[in-house]
A and B are shown apart, each in its own frame.
Chain A
Amino acid sequence: MPAEPDSKQRLLATAGVSVHYGGVRANDEITLAVDGGEIVGLIGPNGAGKTTFVDAITGFTRYTGTVELGGTSLDDAGPHRRRRAGLARTWQAGELFGDLTVAENLIVAVEGGGVRGALTDVFGRRRRTDQAVWNALELVGLAELAEHRPDQLTLGQQKLVGVARAIVGATQVLLLDEPAAGLDTEESVAFGGELRRLAASGLGVLLIDHDMTLVLDVCDRVYVMDFGRIIATGTPAEVSADERVVAAYLGSAVTT
């Protein structure tokens, strides 16, 4: 299981995060917070800058502003450091390692590499697979497929492996970039249940998705983005009643 941070503790805090692509402000002063045990939604129409925000705070895109995890600044850390510090993300396209088995996809995220890892490989004993790997796989219900390669899995299963890979190790905050896209309704409902269990273990979750049923159903709080800035925030009920939100996003989503 992931390390258990205290519930209700401020885990992720961003302040004034901005991203510029040329002259375009893809993210404009995004300030949000995720507490332990909380599922926070980040929604908005296509092109609102949601994925850009995730890219920025995980260190894949340059930004201005500050990102803190558990009170420690991550602004000078590269993507892998942020991951090891406990800020983990998934990708829209899964992005699994095609040459590794499902279990190995997770093992990579928990074991240490580098020179020390190489010396252990050569001179040390064979390492046993971390129990956290099996726990994470069981959590997403894929323990049976541990020895399969990603290309033998359905798209939905691949996304779940991506989620499992993000929760192993010392993950404190999980950033899920459209994890439910590609899942059918049944899978999506089951996925919502898994998210709740994850949050109950003390993890903070930031959920980005188009599946409004899922977001409004599982989230404690929701931020709404449009044109790179946050236009509304509140409980699912408050947000879905907000006129600006309806105009920007929900209106069109409901009719489709």
Chain B
Amino acid sequence: MSDILQFAVLGFSTGAVYAVLGSSLVSIYVATGIINFAQGSLALWGVWQTAALQANGTLVLPIGSFKLTDGPTDTVPALLIGAASCLVWAVLAHFLVFRPLRRAPVLGQVVASVGMMLLLQALVTLRFDADTLGLDPTVLIPMPILPSDTFTLAGATIAVSNLILAGIAIAIAAGMWAYLRFTKMGTATRAGAEDERALRLLGYSPDRLAALVWGATGFVSGLIVVLAAPAIGGLDPTSYMFYVVPALSVALVGRLTSVGTVCAAGLALGALQQILLFGTTKDWWPSWAQAGVGDAIPFVIVVVALFALGRSIPERGSAGVGRLPRVSVPRLRPLPVAGAVAVAGLVIALTSGTWRFSLVMSAIFTLIAVSVVLLTGYLGQISLATMAFAGAAGFALSKLTTNAGVPFPFSLFLAAVVSTLLGVIVGVPALRIRGAQLAVATVAAALAIEAFVFNNPSLTPYSGALIKDPSLFGYSLAVREGTNIITLRFSYLVLAVVVLLLIAVARLFGGATGRAFLAVRSNERAASSAGVDVAATKLLGFAIASFLAGIGGGLIGYSSGQLSAASFTVLVGLTVLAMTYVGGITTITGAVIAGLAGPLGVLYLFLNQSLDLSKYYTLIAALGMLLRAVVFPPDGGPVQEWLAARLPRRTPALATGAGSVTAGSVTAGSVTAGSVTAGTAATSAGTAAASTATAPSAGTTDGVAASAASAASAASAASAASAASGGPADSESSADSDSVTAADAAPSIAARSADAR
């Protein structure tokens, strides 16, 4: 009993961190509606900043640094400056990233906050280096700030610092609660979550109220982590970043509203993890569950919280969900596909060594990115567990080939089936929740899988999980042969598998599955009223996506001959999501771009070999993600709107179109949906096409053929202009840059009614 008390109190140090991060997440959610995945990364910066100050007085800025004091800074200033640096980051994040996205779709907000998370983590690694600090960063440690006294209670040794931490966490949570509950500004903040416009009319600035919350939560998050760091453990460039996951899980326990519940749940979770850790040292504890138990708990909590406490799908369609990136259903044309495959095959044949290897990795990551496109882009389910699915298949492949001796094609297939099953299990919470909350559940699942499977010595030997080379009918398809690190045979095997699966996915997108996915994505209750089984469709999406990711994971396994957890961390998974979002989360082309830019792909090698910039890879990924989310969102953003607002004035022909209300609204929609990099010419042509295309709906049926024809010509103009400006030709709707499609609309509908698709 005294042991349990001792370990429970020991857990208050991490518990205090969960409590404060969780309370901060709730406050930010109340003030802005954002679930901030970057809250742990903010604190990570603070810990490093304080440690650097305490070591030799260096104040590190994103660019540049200076000596604040000669020699080590005193404890209290170091602590306050460290926490203040988190405050500055949080306020910057608010004004530069989250405020512009306050009306964006949830996906954009999640991507942006994951981008912030990666950005801060990358910056910590890059900025707190030997050059900046003037000392080896590995010698930095978080200095104890709180008293180190202990006392004995009921036979348990209790550290005073842990009780102080818990007290501080409770005080911070109480302060947040009191602010939101009793102060005029707090009440206004909560009201702003309901109706921002009314708040403005009352003379409040929701932005300033939100900035206050961002700053305050940033400060306290930094403060508590700096204070707790000595008790929790050393400095490590990632660990505190993922403290956001348990914090999110306790935030969900508090239903993202109750700061008090979150604080209590956070402290309890910390205590529970330590008690379980104590349990794992006992003889009766099963050996397979010795590692990773503590990390698996948040996922269990998330699932329980969502099913026991969570409300089911709201009755009314959720209002205020922003536009999602438009989808253009891929059409499989044999010639272009064959051409692209031939080019890929040729390039693989012409390269060798690391370049060929990076091409093959790009092909594999294209497949994994397609799984993201399918699940997140088409079905609208934000999953952050993609790499965990891939990894699970990789580890299954190792067991299947080395322990069970399953031969090649079956081994890969069965491994993918394992990850499919896992995907369906992880998909179950999606039946209850959606949007950012689902992202929380999946990232918790990913961390649980990572800790429980990949890093579990009883499942994965420290020596690495070996995988037997594939062979077919006695013909070796091994990745290595002598000094050749990647054989042509293996490369073509990967290419064939990836191409076949991409074609299969394209057929799914164009068929009943794609339509059912899009129906669920656009409106769940309408989908079920149209006879679509929403639950089964979501699980099918998770199953297919995890199957694809599983094949990808298996191929990664074959390409290295053995697996390590490092290939499949949550961090890699987030990078893949980032790259897919940047490339275009609703298109297969986007997945190919993501593959080329993805981890270990061609872009990585290019940065590494040609520019020696590979250490900036995560930073570049994060910046790309943030730019894409904030400045060039796929659903239309400030740049596109800026162009749209200025175009009518410059183009006289459009002035008439903008006059009518219908044409005006469609015009805006079309420009929004238009391609991101398309220049002014493309946008204006697209606008013209759209305003022409409104004629059929507004006019009589007689006019349809004529206006469709003119829409077609305008659309081909748009496509020509877009091609000229070098923009990707994926503008949407009637301004479809595919001029063949638009031209198809001109002949009488009756002719094509027999075979619509």
Question: Which residues of chain A from 92 to 140 have a CB within 8 Å of any chain B CB?
Answer: 93, 95-100, 103-105, 107-109, 111-115, 117-118, 120-122, 126-129, 133-134
Instruction: Report yes or no: A80 in contact with B757, Cβ–Cβ below 8 A.
Output: no
- Asked whether A196 is an interface residue with its Cβ less than 8 Å from the other chain, the reply is no
Instruction: Report yes or no: B755 in contact with A108, Cβ–Cβ below 8 A.
Output: no
Instruction: Report yes or no: B512 in contact with A111, Cβ–Cβ below 8 A.
Output: yes
In the complex, how many angstroms separate the beta carbon of A97 from the nearest chain B beta carbon? 4
In the complex, how many angstroms separate the beta carbon of B497 from the nearest chain A beta carbon? 15
- Residues in B with CB closer than 8 Å to A97 are 518-519, 522-523, 526-527
Contact flag A91-B531 (CB < 8 Å), given A103-B756, A113-B516? no
A129 CA to B755 CA, complexed, in Å: 6
Contact flag A84-B511 (CB < 8 Å), given A148-B734, A154-B697? no
- Residues in A with CB closer than 8 Å to B694 are 152
Instruction: Report yes or no: A117 in contact with B530, Cβ–Cβ below 8 A.
Output: no
Instruction: Report yes or no: A122 in contact with B508, Cβ–Cβ below 8 A.
Output: yes
Residue of B nearest to A162 (CB): B526
Contact flag A146-B697 (CB < 8 Å), given A99-B518, A108-B516? no
A-B pairs with beta carbons under 8 A, tally: 166
- Residues in A with CB closer than 8 Å to B532 are 80, 108-109, 113
In the complex, how many angstroms separate the beta carbon of B395 from the nearest chain A beta carbon? 25
Instruction: Report yes or no: B516 in contact with A134, Cβ–Cβ below 8 A.
Output: no
A145 CA to B711 CA, complexed, in Å: 14
- Residues in B with CB closer than 8 Å to A120 are 511-512
- Chain A: residues with Cβ within 8 Å of the partner, total of 57
A122 CA to B697 CA, complexed, in Å: 35
Instruction: Report yes or no: B749 in contact with A108, Cβ–Cβ below 8 A.
Output: no
A230 CA to B516 CA, complexed, in Å: 38
In the complex, how many angstroms separate the beta carbon of A69 from the nearest chain B beta carbon? 14
- Asked whether B75 is an interface residue with its Cβ less than 8 Å from the other chain, the reply is no
Residue among A79, A96, A109 facing the most chain B CB atoms (10 A cut-off): A79
In the complex, how many angstroms separate the beta carbon of A187 from the nearest chain B beta carbon? 13
A145 CA to B750 CA, complexed, in Å: 11
- Residues in A with CB closer than 8 Å to B305 are none
A1 CA to B77 CA, complexed, in Å: 78
The interface-forming segment of A55-63, A201-209, A218-226 is A55-63
A177 CA to B244 CA, complexed, in Å: 45
Residue of B nearest to A98 (CB): B522
Contact flag A95-B525 (CB < 8 Å), given A113-B537, A122-B508, A152-B734? yes
Q: Which of B315, B504, B526, B753 contacts A134 (CB 8 A)?
A: B753
- Asked whether A228 is an interface residue with its Cβ less than 8 Å from the other chain, the reply is no
- Residues in A with CB closer than 8 Å to B755 are 128-129
A213 CA to B666 CA, complexed, in Å: 33
Residue among B327, B534, B757 facing the most chain A CB atoms (10 A cut-off): B757
In the complex, how many angstroms separate the beta carbon of B583 from the nearest chain A beta carbon? 19
A154 CA to B519 CA, complexed, in Å: 20
Q: Which of A95, A105, A113, A149 contacts B733 (CB 8 A)?
A: A149
Instruction: Report yes or no: A128 in contact with B515, Cβ–Cβ below 8 A.
Output: no
Question: Which residues of chain B from 507 to 560 have a CB within 8 Å of any chain A CB?
Answer: 507-508, 510-516, 518-519, 521-523, 525-534, 536-537, 540, 544
A55-B315, A80-B533, A99-B327 given; 19 more Cβ-contact pairs under 8 Å? A59-B528, A80-B529, A80-B530, A95-B317, A98-B523, A99-B522, A103-B756, A108-B516, A113-B537, A114-B540, A115-B540, A121-B512, A122-B507, A127-B757, A146-B756, A147-B745, A148-B734, A152-B693, A152-B694
- A-B pairs with the 10 shortest C-beta distances? A121-B511, A95-B526, A83-B531, A129-B756, A79-B528, A113-B516, A109-B530, A117-B512, A99-B518, A97-B522
**5 residue pairs A–B, Cβ–Cβ below 8 Å:** A80-B533, A100-B515, A113-B513, A118-B513, A146-B753
